[in-house]
Structure 1
Amino acid sequence: MTLTGLFVPLITPFTDDGAVAVDALHDLAEQALIDGATGLVALGTTAETAMLTDDERASVTEVCTRVCRAHGAPLILGAGANATAASMDAVAALDPSLAAALAVVPYYVRPSEAGVIAHFTHLAAVSPVPLIIYNIPYRTGRTLSADTLLRLAELPNVIGVKHAVGGIDDTTITLMSTRPTQFAVFAGDDLYASPLLALGASGAIVASAVVATAPFADLVTAWHRGDSMRARTIGHRLAGLTTALFAEPNPTVIKAVLAAQGRIPSPAVRLPLLPATESSLYTALAALKAFSAAGEQKSSGVLTAEMPR
């Protein structure tokens, strides 16, 4: 099984009184698929999963599952943490109809690379769905070498990696040039999505795509079709927008923009995150307006909003 294309990691919208805004989540999920996303990612970092209750996680999963089934689209679900035993329990309980589980490299405890391999070997053995490894060393504190990534790629039931290492480094080049053909590499850093797609990435899992789904879908398609001129143009235009959307911890600015667009009822996030500052919101809305003015709005359905006064 190989997954390709754009998968949009959804935020979890909240109402003014702090509850999960189920209707807004449904609309975000549906609009992402209408605008060209291949599928969705639920309960990732962008969803503030660590700050949700078990009941809220179940509600988010139900909404995203229902929307994906209605559209015949694949759903990837975030699962697992830094403890192997607990992660095994979590993935073992997953619905077999899911396209895959996105499982993060164990964080904080900083295991050896051999420990990381052992962790995913155990998870893959019990998971009823394929695993995508989430490699994000600036969050986990655990850098993985190319040799380790290639060993992980050989594990049964491991089908890919969300690669978010903060740039295009030597490890990335080695991985892209030597990975097994069926092992999917998803661009996981919004700013570096275009360069990684240029190197042959299977697709992208990028938070900014909830704000600009169609342009990111076009970016993936253009690189896959070999239309480098169009792909570079879209990638350059998206760079300013993604930089602005990540000016503060994800997903604070993204939520502020979505609220300003009227797509979610509130820009609220849960502690220890704080809402985006007005300055960051203003900059992001200006970047979105500039992106639209560059010619993408008409063809890609990017939504705009009035800047705060």
Structure 2
Amino acid sequence: MSLYNTLKGTGVAIITPFSKDLSVDYDALAKLIDHIIDNGVNYIVTLGTTGETPVLSSEEKKAIILFTEKHIAGRVPMVVGIGGNDTQSVINDLKTYPLDGAVAILSASPNYNKPSQEGIFQHYSAIAAASPKPVILYNVPGRTGRNMDARTTLRLAHEVSNIAGIKEASGDLQQCMEILKDKPEGFAVVSGDDALALPQIACGMSGVISVAANVFPAAFSKMVQHCLANEYPAAVTINNQLLDAYKLMFAENNPAGAKAFLFEMGIVQNELRLPCVPLSGVIHQDVKKYLAIHNQL
């Protein structure tokens, strides 16, 4: 199966559960992986920013990769997030992390440095040359402080052979359509915005790497499948039910919203490492109210 087909449908940027002492809770991680896979997602992305990677040590990241691969046990493909704002450090991670079980690397563009478009191009070119797996670009200017424009994405897609796709989370629909219009055949373009996934798939994206699917994998995956089958009235019905959940998940920080939902569902502890903190009390009560109303999702 080509990577384009592997990335079709719903991927999940999986959270990292923590115990009360803030160590990685592997029992909860196993429960979460089963919850996601048993409810129909197409693949799992571990160590994305939703997994609180900025506050995980290298040793923890390696252990999480190995645990996730073992517990998935071939049921769905696994993508591993490896990125950063020091190109050489990313290259070193690519050489030392246990990536045999991964189908691809998801790498966010550099944060804080705010490189030029040429700097972004050279950063990804160097990473792709060093990576033992195909690279999926990740454009998320809300986190990185710098948008990777359509011209840079298309230049990388056409000129760098080991770059296989992009998770596009700029929120700019025109930019998304420009990429879709001129991308090479077989280059995967997936949404990085849960709330925009429906219109973006309508524009030609092949799926989404979702935060919401941590919590509502069955409903979200069904919505995406309806979109891919051009069954938009059915997709809209499900998406409308999820709209308030999207707002709650991103009301304060990610993954505090997803963790609050999963805590109320009995899957994880409601623990985050600083500087992120759990949802404030009022919003957490709104999460409980939403679940009471939408317990069928």
Length-normalised TM-score, structure 1: 0.90
What's the offset of the Cα at 1:70? 4.1
Aligned mates of 1:204, 1:285 — CA distance in 2 = 26
Question: CA-atom RMSD, angstroms?
Answer: 1.4
Question: What is the 5 A alignment of 1:6-155?
Answer: 6-71=10-75, 73-94=76-97, 95-154=99-158, 155=160
Q: 1:237 to 1:181 in 2, by over 3 A?
A: farther
2:162 maps to a residue whose letter is N
What's the offset of the Cα at 1:287? 2.7
Moved segments of 4+, more than 6 Å: none
Q: Give the secondary structure class of the aligned counterpart of 2:138.
A: strand
Q: Give the secondary structure class of the aligned counterpart of 1:197.
A: helix
Q: Give the secondary structure class of the aligned counterpart of 1:60.
A: helix
Could you say which residue in structure 1 is the equivalent of 2:271? 268
Bigger drift between 93-102 and 37-46 goes to 93-102
Could you say which residue in structure 1 is the equivalent of 2:289? 286
Bigger drift between 104-113 and 190-199 goes to 190-199
Aligned mates of 1:287, 1:153 — CA distance in 2 = 41
Matched-pair contact (CA < 8 Å) for 1:37–1:213: yes
Structure 1: gaps of 5 or more residues:
303-309
User: Per-residue CA shift, 1:70-98, capped at 9, x if unaligned?
Assistant: 42x11010102111111111123342331
Q: Give the secondary structure class of the aligned counterpart of 2:44.
A: strand
Matched-pair contact (CA < 8 Å) for 1:39–1:68: no
Question: What is the 5 A alignment of 1:104-253?
Answer: 104-154=108-158, 155-165=160-170, 167-253=171-257
Aligned mates of 1:180, 1:235 — CA distance in 2 = 30
Structure 2: gaps of 5 or more residues:
none
Aligned mates of 1:36, 1:23 — CA distance in 2 = 21
What's the offset of the Cα at 1:267? 0.5
User: Per-residue CA shift, 1:140-172, capped at 9, x if unaligned?
Assistant: 11112211111121221111111111x343211
Aligned mates of 1:218, 1:198 — CA distance in 2 = 15
